[in-house]
Amino acid sequence: MPTFRTTRPVKHSPAEMFALVADVERYPEFLPLCEDLRVIRRVQSGEGIETLVASMAVGYKAIRESFTTRVTLDRPRLKIQVEYVDGPFKYLENRWTFRETPTGCDVEFYINYEFKSFALGLLMGSVFDKAFRKFTEAFEERADEVYGQQRAARA
């Protein structure tokens, strides 16, 4: 059961980074292994919380897999929770947290997963592990493209 956790300081605000990670439809443009992402359903609650059901297609060389997750976007608390619904995993749990710092924010990324198939786990496990280690870096690079490379503005 591979687990990866990292906290990365970035020069953008927590709200900017939250918005970037919450914009799941853009993932195929910059996220390692992500070939397609479609939002199947989107539900707003009255407290600034939005829940998405999304299907992501990932690929590496000749291997292609798709999986479905439920994504809870908790804007007031600047947290994103991803829960596994269907696909090649036994389970998948992913969390993002964004905390303000004097120079921007700390982005905390956590993922825990296991493939259903032992063979697929052997084949894709190291590829996924390397990709997940690059996720926060990919989001930081994307933030620099979208928001510029200036230091985060303070309100």
The pLDDT tens digits for 21-48 are 999 999 999 998 899 999 999 999 879 9
Domain count, the chain: 1
Domain extent, residue 96, equals 3-147
Q: Is residue 75 part of a domain?
A: yes
Across the strands, what pairs with 74? 49, 79
**Is the Cα torsion angle 139, 140, 142, 146 positive or negative in sign?**
positive
pLDDT in tens, 74-83: 999 999 999 9
Q: How many whole angstroms separate alpha carbon 9 and alpha carbon 128?
A: 23
In a domain, 56, yes or no: yes
Q: What is the pLDDT of residue 125?
A: 67
Asked if residues 127 and 33 have their Cβ atoms less than 8 Å apart, the reply is yes
Residue 32: inside a domain, yes or no?
yes
- Residues 64, 61: Cα–Cα separation, whole Å: 8
Query: For residues 152 and 145, which has the higher predicted lDDT (pLDDT)?
Result: 145
Mean pLDDT computed over 90-101: 95
- First-to-final CA distance of the chain: 42
Q: Report pLDDT digits (tens) over 45-76.
A: 879 999 999 999 988 788 888 999 999 999 99
Q: Which of the 8 DSSP states describes residue 75? A: T
113 phi and psi angles, rounded to 5 deg = -155, 160
In a domain, 153, yes or no: no
Cα separation values, 87 from 22, 40, 68, 83, 100, Å: 21, 15, 6, 12, 35
The three state secondary structure string of 15-73 is HHHHHHHHCHHHHHHCCCCEEEEEEEEEEECCCCEEEEEEEEEEEECCEEEEEEEEEEE
Which CATH number characterizes residue 31's domain? 3.30.530.20
